[in-house]
Amino acid sequence: MIDNKLDIAQIRKDFPILKRKVNGNSLIYFDNAATSQTPKQVIDTIVDYYSNYNANIHRGVHALAQEATEAYEGARIKIQHFFNAAKKHEIIFTSGTTHSINLVANGFTAFIKKGDEVLVSAMEHHSNIVPWQMLCERTGASLRVIPMSKEGELSMASYRDMLSNNTKLVVCNHVSNALGTINPIGELIELAHKVGAAVLIDGAQSSPHIKVDVQQLDVDFYTASAHKLCGPTGIGMLYGKEEWLAKLPPYQGGGEMIAEVTFEKATYADLPYKFEAGTPNICGGIAFGAALDYLNSIGLETIEEYEHELLTYATAKLQTIEGVKIYGTAAHKTAVISFNIQGIHPYDMGTLLDKMGIAVRTGHHCAQPVMDYYKIPGTIRASFSFYNTLEEINQFITAVKKAKQMLS
Protein backbone atom coordinates (compact mmCIF):
# COMPACT_ATOMS: atom_id res chain seq x y z
CA MET A 1 0.00 0.00 0.00
CA ILE A 2 0.96 3.63 -0.47
CA ASP A 3 2.68 4.99 2.62
CA ASN A 4 1.99 8.26 4.34
CA LYS A 5 4.99 10.18 3.02
CA LEU A 6 2.75 12.22 0.74
CA ASP A 7 -0.20 14.26 1.94
CA ILE A 8 -2.06 13.96 -1.37
CA ALA A 9 -5.07 15.98 -0.21
CA GLN A 10 -2.79 18.87 0.74
CA ILE A 11 -0.76 18.57 -2.47
CA ARG A 12 -3.92 18.71 -4.58
CA LYS A 13 -4.82 22.02 -2.97
CA ASP A 14 -1.67 23.45 -4.57
CA PHE A 15 -3.08 22.85 -8.09
CA PRO A 16 -5.99 25.21 -8.84
CA ILE A 17 -6.94 23.44 -12.07
CA LEU A 18 -7.81 20.23 -10.20
CA LYS A 19 -10.84 22.02 -8.72
CA ARG A 20 -12.51 22.65 -12.07
CA LYS A 21 -15.35 20.76 -13.72
CA VAL A 22 -15.29 19.30 -17.22
CA ASN A 23 -18.66 18.50 -18.78
CA GLY A 24 -20.22 18.71 -15.34
CA ASN A 25 -17.75 16.27 -13.78
CA SER A 26 -14.76 16.84 -11.53
CA LEU A 27 -11.63 16.88 -13.68
CA ILE A 28 -9.50 13.73 -13.61
CA TYR A 29 -6.27 14.64 -15.36
CA PHE A 30 -4.42 11.63 -16.76
CA ASP A 31 -2.49 13.39 -19.54
CA ASN A 32 0.62 14.17 -17.52
CA ALA A 33 3.02 12.75 -20.11
CA ALA A 34 1.90 15.51 -22.48
CA THR A 35 2.14 18.25 -19.88
CA SER A 36 1.94 18.34 -16.10
CA GLN A 37 -0.23 20.76 -14.19
CA THR A 38 1.18 23.84 -12.45
CA PRO A 39 1.05 24.49 -8.70
CA LYS A 40 0.03 27.81 -7.21
CA GLN A 41 3.59 28.36 -5.97
CA VAL A 42 4.81 28.49 -9.59
CA ILE A 43 1.85 30.55 -10.80
CA ASP A 44 2.55 33.05 -8.02
CA THR A 45 6.17 33.30 -9.19
CA ILE A 46 4.98 34.22 -12.70
CA VAL A 47 2.57 36.83 -11.34
CA ASP A 48 5.28 38.23 -9.06
CA TYR A 49 7.72 38.65 -11.94
CA TYR A 50 5.31 40.57 -14.16
CA SER A 51 3.92 42.55 -11.22
CA ASN A 52 7.16 43.58 -9.55
CA TYR A 53 10.37 43.23 -11.57
CA ASN A 54 9.62 42.70 -15.25
CA ALA A 55 12.77 43.80 -17.08
CA ASN A 56 15.28 42.55 -19.62
CA ILE A 57 18.28 40.79 -18.15
CA HIS A 58 22.09 40.99 -18.18
CA ARG A 59 22.47 44.37 -19.87
CA GLY A 60 20.63 46.76 -17.57
CA VAL A 61 22.14 48.60 -14.61
CA HIS A 62 18.81 49.62 -13.09
CA ALA A 63 17.26 47.82 -10.13
CA LEU A 64 14.60 45.85 -12.02
CA ALA A 65 17.12 44.50 -14.54
CA GLN A 66 19.45 43.44 -11.76
CA GLU A 67 16.63 41.72 -9.84
CA ALA A 68 15.44 39.90 -12.97
CA THR A 69 18.99 38.85 -13.86
CA GLU A 70 19.63 37.53 -10.37
CA ALA A 71 16.40 35.51 -10.39
CA TYR A 72 17.02 34.13 -13.90
CA GLU A 73 20.62 33.12 -13.25
CA GLY A 74 19.53 31.76 -9.87
CA ALA A 75 17.15 29.45 -11.72
CA ARG A 76 20.05 28.19 -13.84
CA ILE A 77 21.85 27.21 -10.64
CA LYS A 78 18.71 25.42 -9.39
CA ILE A 79 18.62 23.42 -12.63
CA GLN A 80 22.34 22.67 -12.29
CA HIS A 81 21.79 21.25 -8.81
CA PHE A 82 18.60 19.37 -9.79
CA PHE A 83 20.50 17.42 -12.46
CA ASN A 84 23.86 17.56 -10.65
CA ALA A 85 25.77 19.22 -13.47
CA ALA A 86 29.37 20.02 -12.56
CA LYS A 87 29.17 23.67 -13.69
CA LYS A 88 26.32 26.13 -14.08
CA HIS A 89 27.44 27.11 -17.60
CA GLU A 90 26.80 23.52 -18.69
CA ILE A 91 23.08 24.37 -18.42
CA ILE A 92 21.70 26.07 -21.54
CA PHE A 93 18.22 27.58 -21.42
CA THR A 94 16.14 26.54 -24.44
CA SER A 95 12.44 26.60 -25.31
CA GLY A 96 12.22 22.92 -24.42
CA THR A 97 13.47 19.46 -25.30
CA THR A 98 12.78 19.84 -29.04
CA HIS A 99 14.85 23.02 -29.19
CA SER A 100 17.62 21.37 -27.18
CA ILE A 101 17.83 18.40 -29.54
CA ASN A 102 17.85 20.65 -32.62
CA LEU A 103 20.63 22.75 -31.09
CA VAL A 104 22.85 19.68 -30.78
CA ALA A 105 21.83 18.23 -34.15
CA ASN A 106 22.69 21.51 -35.88
CA GLY A 107 26.02 21.74 -34.08
CA PHE A 108 26.99 18.19 -34.97
CA THR A 109 26.98 19.10 -38.66
CA ALA A 110 30.58 20.15 -37.99
CA PHE A 111 31.53 16.70 -36.66
CA ILE A 112 29.59 14.26 -38.87
CA LYS A 113 30.53 13.21 -42.40
CA LYS A 114 29.56 10.66 -45.03
CA GLY A 115 30.19 7.14 -43.76
CA ASP A 116 29.50 8.07 -40.14
CA GLU A 117 26.54 6.62 -38.27
CA VAL A 118 23.98 7.99 -35.83
CA LEU A 119 22.17 5.38 -33.75
CA VAL A 120 18.63 6.07 -32.57
CA SER A 121 16.26 3.84 -30.61
CA ALA A 122 13.08 2.43 -32.15
CA MET A 123 10.86 4.04 -29.49
CA GLU A 124 11.69 7.71 -30.01
CA HIS A 125 9.41 10.72 -30.09
CA HIS A 126 9.45 12.47 -33.47
CA SER A 127 11.52 15.29 -31.97
CA ASN A 128 14.33 12.80 -31.39
CA ILE A 129 14.09 11.35 -34.89
CA VAL A 130 13.54 14.17 -37.38
CA PRO A 131 16.50 16.40 -36.35
CA TRP A 132 18.85 13.43 -36.82
CA GLN A 133 17.31 12.58 -40.18
CA MET A 134 17.96 16.18 -41.20
CA LEU A 135 21.54 15.94 -39.91
CA CYS A 136 22.13 12.79 -41.96
CA GLU A 137 20.62 14.43 -45.05
CA ARG A 138 23.00 17.38 -44.66
CA THR A 139 26.11 15.28 -44.10
CA GLY A 140 25.55 11.98 -45.90
CA ALA A 141 25.76 10.03 -42.64
CA SER A 142 23.52 7.04 -41.94
CA LEU A 143 20.73 6.81 -39.35
CA ARG A 144 20.48 3.33 -37.85
CA VAL A 145 17.68 2.13 -35.59
CA ILE A 146 18.22 0.12 -32.40
CA PRO A 147 15.38 -2.43 -32.40
CA MET A 148 12.98 -3.13 -29.57
CA SER A 149 10.98 -6.14 -28.41
CA LYS A 150 7.20 -6.64 -28.31
CA GLU A 151 7.39 -5.78 -24.61
CA GLY A 152 8.81 -2.38 -25.52
CA GLU A 153 12.38 -3.02 -24.36
CA LEU A 154 15.50 -2.11 -26.33
CA SER A 155 17.53 -5.00 -27.72
CA MET A 156 20.84 -4.31 -26.03
CA ALA A 157 22.41 -7.30 -27.83
CA SER A 158 21.56 -5.70 -31.17
CA TYR A 159 22.86 -2.37 -29.91
CA ARG A 160 26.23 -3.88 -29.00
CA ASP A 161 26.49 -5.41 -32.47
CA MET A 162 25.63 -2.10 -34.15
CA LEU A 163 28.31 -0.06 -32.37
CA SER A 164 31.51 0.50 -34.35
CA ASN A 165 34.19 3.07 -35.04
CA ASN A 166 31.71 4.61 -37.49
CA THR A 167 29.28 5.39 -34.65
CA LYS A 168 29.64 9.08 -33.85
CA LEU A 169 26.46 9.73 -31.92
CA VAL A 170 23.86 7.69 -30.02
CA VAL A 171 20.47 9.25 -29.19
CA CYS A 172 17.83 7.68 -26.99
CA ASN A 173 15.03 8.63 -24.67
CA HIS A 174 15.45 7.88 -20.98
CA VAL A 175 11.73 7.04 -20.82
CA SER A 176 9.44 6.33 -23.76
CA ASN A 177 6.52 8.75 -23.91
CA ALA A 178 4.43 6.16 -25.80
CA LEU A 179 5.20 3.08 -23.69
CA GLY A 180 6.58 4.26 -20.36
CA THR A 181 9.70 2.08 -20.74
CA ILE A 182 12.70 3.15 -18.64
CA ASN A 183 15.68 2.50 -20.88
CA PRO A 184 19.05 1.24 -19.51
CA ILE A 185 20.82 4.46 -20.42
CA GLY A 186 23.76 3.91 -18.05
CA GLU A 187 24.81 0.81 -19.99
CA LEU A 188 23.95 2.46 -23.31
CA ILE A 189 26.21 5.45 -22.52
CA GLU A 190 29.09 3.30 -21.29
CA LEU A 191 29.06 1.13 -24.43
CA ALA A 192 28.86 4.16 -26.74
CA HIS A 193 31.84 5.81 -25.08
CA LYS A 194 33.93 2.66 -25.64
CA VAL A 195 33.76 3.30 -29.40
CA GLY A 196 34.25 7.06 -29.00
CA ALA A 197 30.64 8.04 -29.67
CA ALA A 198 28.84 10.91 -27.95
CA VAL A 199 25.42 10.34 -26.39
CA LEU A 200 22.33 12.55 -26.17
CA ILE A 201 19.55 11.43 -23.84
CA ASP A 202 16.04 12.85 -24.19
CA GLY A 203 14.99 13.33 -20.58
CA ALA A 204 11.60 14.94 -21.21
CA GLN A 205 9.66 11.99 -19.79
CA SER A 206 12.16 10.84 -17.16
CA SER A 207 12.98 14.10 -15.37
CA PRO A 208 9.55 14.43 -13.68
CA HIS A 209 9.72 10.90 -12.28
CA ILE A 210 13.34 9.81 -11.79
CA LYS A 211 16.23 11.48 -9.98
CA VAL A 212 18.85 12.17 -12.67
CA ASP A 213 22.57 12.67 -12.02
CA VAL A 214 24.26 13.66 -15.28
CA GLN A 215 27.74 13.29 -13.80
CA GLN A 216 27.09 9.78 -12.56
CA LEU A 217 25.59 8.83 -15.92
CA ASP A 218 28.60 10.41 -17.70
CA VAL A 219 26.16 11.55 -20.40
CA ASP A 220 27.32 14.08 -22.99
CA PHE A 221 23.94 15.79 -23.49
CA TYR A 222 20.68 15.60 -21.54
CA THR A 223 17.44 17.48 -22.18
CA ALA A 224 14.34 18.44 -20.19
CA SER A 225 11.19 20.55 -20.57
CA ALA A 226 9.80 22.62 -17.72
CA HIS A 227 6.16 21.94 -18.60
CA LYS A 228 6.64 18.24 -17.75
CA LEU A 229 8.05 19.31 -14.37
CA CYS A 230 5.13 21.41 -13.06
CA GLY A 231 6.59 24.49 -14.76
CA PRO A 232 5.45 26.69 -17.65
CA THR A 233 5.51 25.88 -21.34
CA GLY A 234 8.08 27.37 -23.70
CA ILE A 235 11.12 26.84 -21.48
CA GLY A 236 13.52 23.95 -21.01
CA MET A 237 17.17 23.11 -20.74
CA LEU A 238 20.04 21.40 -22.45
CA TYR A 239 22.80 19.98 -20.29
CA GLY A 240 26.05 19.50 -22.15
CA LYS A 241 29.52 18.60 -21.00
CA GLU A 242 31.68 21.70 -21.11
CA GLU A 243 34.13 20.17 -23.59
CA TRP A 244 31.31 19.47 -26.06
CA LEU A 245 29.58 22.83 -25.65
CA ALA A 246 32.89 24.58 -26.20
CA LYS A 247 33.34 22.76 -29.52
CA LEU A 248 29.80 23.11 -30.89
CA PRO A 249 29.19 26.18 -33.08
CA PRO A 250 26.35 28.54 -32.11
CA TYR A 251 22.88 27.50 -33.16
CA GLN A 252 21.47 31.01 -33.65
CA GLY A 253 22.99 34.44 -34.11
CA GLY A 254 21.88 37.67 -32.50
CA GLY A 255 22.17 39.67 -29.35
CA GLU A 256 23.51 38.26 -26.09
CA MET A 257 25.45 35.41 -27.76
CA ILE A 258 28.29 37.65 -28.95
CA ALA A 259 31.44 39.08 -27.42
CA GLU A 260 32.20 41.67 -30.14
CA VAL A 261 30.60 42.46 -33.50
CA THR A 262 31.84 44.44 -36.49
CA PHE A 263 30.56 44.27 -40.05
CA GLU A 264 33.60 42.17 -40.86
CA LYS A 265 33.27 39.50 -38.15
CA ALA A 266 31.79 38.51 -34.79
CA THR A 267 33.29 36.74 -31.82
CA TYR A 268 31.08 34.67 -29.58
CA ALA A 269 30.28 34.97 -25.91
CA ASP A 270 31.42 32.44 -23.35
CA LEU A 271 29.22 29.57 -22.21
CA PRO A 272 26.31 29.40 -21.67
CA TYR A 273 25.44 32.61 -23.53
CA LYS A 274 26.93 31.42 -26.83
CA PHE A 275 23.75 29.37 -27.29
CA GLU A 276 21.24 31.87 -25.87
CA ALA A 277 20.67 34.44 -28.61
CA GLY A 278 18.07 37.16 -28.10
CA THR A 279 15.84 38.04 -25.18
CA PRO A 280 15.03 34.74 -23.47
CA ASN A 281 11.85 33.54 -21.79
CA ILE A 282 12.91 35.29 -18.59
CA CYS A 283 9.76 34.65 -16.62
CA GLY A 284 9.68 31.04 -17.82
CA GLY A 285 13.23 30.45 -16.64
CA ILE A 286 12.49 31.88 -13.21
CA ALA A 287 9.30 29.81 -12.97
CA PHE A 288 11.24 26.71 -14.06
CA GLY A 289 13.42 27.22 -10.99
CA ALA A 290 10.33 27.64 -8.80
CA ALA A 291 8.88 24.39 -10.16
CA LEU A 292 12.07 22.53 -9.24
CA ASP A 293 11.88 24.05 -5.75
CA TYR A 294 8.37 22.63 -5.47
CA LEU A 295 9.38 19.15 -6.63
CA ASN A 296 12.39 19.18 -4.31
CA SER A 297 10.09 20.02 -1.38
CA ILE A 298 8.29 16.73 -2.02
CA GLY A 299 11.30 14.67 -3.14
CA LEU A 300 11.82 12.84 -6.45
CA GLU A 301 12.37 9.51 -4.72
CA THR A 302 9.06 9.86 -2.87
CA ILE A 303 7.31 10.88 -6.09
CA GLU A 304 8.75 7.91 -7.98
CA GLU A 305 7.65 5.46 -5.29
CA TYR A 306 4.10 6.82 -5.16
CA GLU A 307 3.67 6.96 -8.93
CA HIS A 308 4.85 3.36 -9.22
CA GLU A 309 2.07 2.38 -6.82
CA LEU A 310 -0.43 4.21 -9.04
CA LEU A 311 0.95 2.45 -12.14
CA THR A 312 0.77 -1.00 -10.54
CA TYR A 313 -2.77 -0.43 -9.26
CA ALA A 314 -4.10 0.95 -12.56
CA THR A 315 -2.44 -1.79 -14.63
CA ALA A 316 -4.00 -4.52 -12.51
CA LYS A 317 -7.45 -2.89 -12.73
CA LEU A 318 -7.25 -2.42 -16.51
CA GLN A 319 -6.24 -6.03 -17.05
CA THR A 320 -9.55 -7.17 -15.57
CA ILE A 321 -11.45 -5.55 -18.45
CA GLU A 322 -12.11 -7.97 -21.29
CA GLY A 323 -10.53 -6.97 -24.60
CA VAL A 324 -7.90 -4.64 -23.12
CA LYS A 325 -4.41 -4.89 -24.60
CA ILE A 326 -1.58 -2.94 -22.98
CA TYR A 327 1.34 -1.82 -25.17
CA GLY A 328 4.60 -1.49 -23.31
CA THR A 329 5.03 -4.16 -20.67
CA ALA A 330 8.71 -3.61 -19.91
CA ALA A 331 10.01 -4.72 -16.53
CA HIS A 332 10.99 -1.13 -15.74
CA LYS A 333 8.36 1.54 -16.43
CA THR A 334 7.19 4.94 -15.28
CA ALA A 335 3.54 5.80 -14.69
CA VAL A 336 2.32 5.51 -18.28
CA ILE A 337 -0.19 2.98 -19.60
CA SER A 338 -0.88 2.79 -23.33
CA PHE A 339 -3.73 0.48 -24.21
CA ASN A 340 -6.49 -0.33 -26.66
CA ILE A 341 -9.75 -2.20 -26.34
CA GLN A 342 -10.58 -4.74 -29.03
CA GLY A 343 -12.97 -3.35 -31.62
CA ILE A 344 -12.87 0.23 -30.30
CA HIS A 345 -10.95 3.09 -31.88
CA PRO A 346 -8.82 4.95 -29.32
CA TYR A 347 -10.25 8.32 -30.42
CA ASP A 348 -13.79 7.18 -29.67
CA MET A 349 -12.81 5.97 -26.22
CA GLY A 350 -10.95 9.21 -25.50
CA THR A 351 -13.94 11.30 -26.56
CA LEU A 352 -16.34 9.45 -24.26
CA LEU A 353 -13.90 9.61 -21.34
CA ASP A 354 -13.71 13.37 -21.83
CA LYS A 355 -17.49 13.57 -21.59
CA MET A 356 -17.06 12.02 -18.14
CA GLY A 357 -14.41 14.56 -17.15
CA ILE A 358 -11.38 12.31 -17.68
CA ALA A 359 -8.46 13.67 -19.72
CA VAL A 360 -6.36 11.02 -21.48
CA ARG A 361 -4.29 11.23 -24.66
CA THR A 362 -5.24 9.33 -27.81
CA GLY A 363 -3.38 8.86 -31.08
CA HIS A 364 0.20 8.07 -32.04
CA HIS A 365 1.74 10.33 -29.34
CA CYS A 366 4.29 11.72 -31.86
CA ALA A 367 5.77 8.23 -31.99
CA GLN A 368 4.44 6.87 -35.27
CA PRO A 369 7.25 4.32 -35.73
CA VAL A 370 6.17 2.72 -32.43
CA MET A 371 2.58 2.47 -33.63
CA ASP A 372 3.73 1.09 -36.99
CA TYR A 373 5.73 -1.56 -35.12
CA TYR A 374 2.59 -2.74 -33.35
CA LYS A 375 0.48 -2.27 -36.52
CA ILE A 376 -2.02 -0.01 -34.77
CA PRO A 377 -3.25 3.54 -35.53
CA GLY A 378 -2.65 4.70 -31.98
CA THR A 379 -3.42 4.01 -28.34
CA ILE A 380 -5.29 5.40 -25.38
CA ARG A 381 -2.63 6.71 -22.98
CA ALA A 382 -3.24 7.30 -19.30
CA SER A 383 -0.28 8.93 -17.55
CA PHE A 384 -0.17 9.66 -13.85
CA SER A 385 1.48 12.19 -11.58
CA PHE A 386 1.95 12.51 -7.83
CA TYR A 387 -1.22 14.59 -7.46
CA ASN A 388 -3.37 11.76 -8.84
CA THR A 389 -5.16 9.32 -6.54
CA LEU A 390 -6.34 5.73 -6.31
CA GLU A 391 -9.91 6.99 -6.24
CA GLU A 392 -9.36 8.74 -9.57
CA ILE A 393 -8.09 5.46 -11.00
CA ASN A 394 -11.21 3.69 -9.71
CA GLN A 395 -13.40 6.30 -11.42
CA PHE A 396 -11.33 5.94 -14.59
CA ILE A 397 -11.81 2.16 -14.64
CA THR A 398 -15.57 2.59 -14.15
CA ALA A 399 -15.66 5.12 -16.98
CA VAL A 400 -13.68 2.86 -19.33
CA LYS A 401 -16.14 0.03 -18.66
CA LYS A 402 -19.10 2.33 -19.29
CA ALA A 403 -17.60 3.70 -22.52
CA LYS A 404 -16.75 0.19 -23.70
CA GLN A 405 -20.35 -0.87 -23.16
CA MET A 406 -21.60 2.16 -25.10
CA LEU A 407 -19.20 1.57 -28.02
CA SER A 408 -19.47 -2.19 -28.29
Residues noted as catalytic = 366
Q: Which of 211, 193, 195 is nearest to 203 (CA)?
A: 211
Cβ-proximal residues to 159 (8 Å cutoff; 6+ apart), any chain: 119, 146, 188, 191
**Residue 3 burial (CB < 10 Å; 0-12/13-18/19+)?**
exposed
Cβ-proximal residues to 274 (8 Å cutoff; 6+ apart), any chain: 245, 250, 257, 268
Note the maximum CA span of the chain: 71
Distance CA 56, CA 58 (A): 7
Distance CA 221, CA 202 (A): 8
Q: How far is CA 356 from CA 77, 344, 361, 378, in A?
A: 42, 17, 14, 21
DSSP-assigned states of every residue in 62-129: SHHHHHHHHHHHHHHHHHHHHHT-SSGGGEEEESSHHHHHHHHHHHGGGT--TT-EEEEETT--GGGT
C-alpha 146 chain-centroid distance: 20
